[in-house]
Amino acid sequence: MVAPSVNKLVRYLPPAFGQIAAAGAQFLLSLQLLHVLPPAQFGTFSFILIAVQFGFGLSNAVLCAPYPLELGHDRTDGSARTTTLFMSGNLAFSLTGAALMAALGLGFALSATEVALLFGYSAIMLLRWFARSHAYASARPGRAATSDIVYGCTLLAGIALARGSEAFGLGHALALLLVSAVLSLLPFGGSYLLLQFLRVSPAALAGYGAVWRRHARWALLGVMMTEATANAHAYAVIVLIGPAGLAPIAAAQLMIRPITLIMNALSNFERPPLARAVAAGQIDAALDRVRGFRLAMVGIYAATLVAAAALMLTAPRAVFPEPYAAADVGVGVALWFAIAAITLVRAPESILLQAAGRLRDLAFAGIASCAASIAAVLLLLLVAPPVWSLAGILLGQAILALHTWRLAAQWRRAHAASAQPEGNDI
């Protein structure tokens, strides 16, 4: 039993190592800013990261999740047209998303330079997010892992140069993020960059209507519901209290950042092979990958929990400086790890259902969890400190997990029944 478990974990080493490098670097950047920025500015920076992550989720819905499904649908001459369509869509999506991020920066009263840097960073990161999915769909996972490592190492180098500098602020952080993002595009290779920037066509986007009807509309609804379930607290706190109210919640979230980033990366890694296995009727192989994914994430969760507990017990002020109340961050860390645990056990089934094309079912499963999260968050903000709004997120995630598990169980039973040989009555 040990050897198969080890083999399941080995395939995750390249993508996990790359994301550990990126997650570690981004953690150190956020930690440095936590110590040099006032809470309101740190809350602003944290909300920007949440918005960029939301952009990744939207990219997953309209591009990354449908892409391997469409490639499986068009295995012959259509694959070139499919790639051109998605490359063109990614360029348009990334520029649009970057423009919206720039508008968000203006809303937070960032300087013109900071808004320009935010536009560039958002555009490149959204381009890179689909590039990683393309690498996985093209059976070149090493490119995605190398891109993550380049991103993380560039960030680390910049953080090391700026360490101890009190002048290091939000603009410097955005500039460093932009440089890291640009360099992290290079490992995808010249052939990919030609596809992405030169071999695109606005006319190709006309073919997206079929993708929208088959997959993307349901995936997008699912992402919107999931975002409201997972981040209702952030939007509510920003609107009702302001960035300073979000700061302690974001500070506590630093402890689970490795789990979040690695889970997103491994989800993109698993989606194409799962889609291929399901399309080929290899249900046992697909379920085996789901078990391997869960095992890998349990290991990441356990390691992160041990590291966070050690930091909180031995040197809490090394992470959370004096303006942040120990009680608030303690509650926040505990609630974030509870949320991560629920998300972790739901994610493998969610990816399996995406690979099976059950995007509509997943979208409708998120409606109840979304409503519960929003209602609970708003109620908690009226009666408790902002950090307790995370309990509303925990409730929504639990409801979403129950619906996802139910859908996955139904899908397994349906395939088990279809695989049952006829004439086997007992």
**What is the pTM assigned to this prediction?**
0.82
Residues 6+ apart with CB under 8 A from 45: 30, 33, 37, 170, 173
What per-residue string of b and e applies to 232-254 under the rule 16 or more CB within 10 Å gives b? bbbbbbbeeeebbbbbbbbbbbb
Chain segment 249-286, per-residue pLDDT in tens: 999 998 988 888 778 777 777 777 888 888 788 888 88
First to last CA, the chain: 32
pLDDT for the residue 222: 82
- Domain membership of residue 118 (yes or no) is yes
Task: Single out the residue of 328, 416, 324, 403 nearest to residue 371, CA to CA.
Answer: 403
Render 302-336 in DSSP notation, one character per residue: HHHHHHHHHHHHH-HHHHS-TTS-HHHHHHHHHHH
Task: Flag whether pLDDT at 155 surpasses 50.
Answer: yes
Which two structure tokens, joined as six digits, stand for 8?
Answer: 């399941």
- Please tell me the predicted confidence (pLDDT) of residue 1: 45
Averaged pLDDT of the chain: 85
pLDDT greater than 60 at residue 300: yes
Q: How deeply is 340 buried, as exposed, middle or buried, from its count of CB atoms within 10 A (0-12, 13-18, 19+)?
A: buried
In a domain, 219, yes or no: yes
Is residue 425 in a domain? Answer: no
* Whole-number pLDDT of residue 12: 58
| Whole-number Å distance between alpha carbons of 344 and 331 | 20
**Cβ-contact 66, 133 below 8 angstroms:** no
pLDDT for 412 equals 84
pLDDT at 99 over 70: yes
pLDDT given at position 6: 53
Distances (CA, A) of 229 to 129, 187, 377: 22, 35, 10
334 occurs within a structural domain:
yes
Nearest to 286 by CA among 274, 268, 270, 271: 274
Tens digit of each residue's pLDDT (9 = 90 or more) over 9-67: 556 566 566 767 777 788 889 888 988 889 999 999 999 999 998 999 899 889 988 88
What confidence score (pLDDT) does residue 2 get?
45
| Residue 119 within any structural domain of the chain | yes
Residue 424 lies in a domain: no
- Alpha-carbon distances of 347 from 135, 158, 169, 331, rounded to whole Å: 21, 33, 35, 24
With CA atoms as reference, report the closest residue to 217 among 355, 346, 357: 357
Residue 416 to residues 53, 58, 348, 409, Cα–Cα distance (Å): 36, 33, 19, 10
Assess whether pLDDT exceeds 60 at residue 131.
Answer: yes
Does residue 219 surpass a pLDDT of 90? Answer: no
Question: Which residues fall within 8 angstroms of residue 87, CB to CB, at 6 or more apart?
Answer: 195, 196, 199, 200
Higher model confidence: residue 20 or residue 120? 120
Q: Is the pLDDT of residue 330 over 80?
A: yes
What pLDDT, in 10s, does the model give residues 346-376? 888 988 888 887 878 888 888 888 899 999 9
| Highest-confidence segment of 147-161, 202-216, 264-278 | 147-161
Q: Which residue has the higher pLDDT, 60 or 69?
A: 60
| Residue-range definition of the domain harbouring residue 267 | 2-416
Average pLDDT for residues 94-109, to the nearest whole number? 96
Measure Cα distances from 307 to 243, 312, 315 in Å: 28, 9, 11
Answer whether 145's CB lies under 8 Å from 112's CB. no
pLDDT for 174 equals 95
Q: Is residue 423 part of a domain?
A: no
Cβ 276 vs Cβ 68: under 8 Å = yes
Position 77 pLDDT exceeds 70 = no
Residue with tokens 């999260």: 373
Check residue 16 and give its pLDDT. 61
- Identify whether 332 is part of a domain: yes
| Structural domains counted in the chain | 1
Distance between CA atoms of residues 284 and 282, nearest Å: 6
Q: Where does the pLDDT of residue 74 fall: very low under 50, low under 70, confident under 90, or very high at 90 and above?
A: low
Per-residue pLDDT averaged across 134-138, rounded? 85
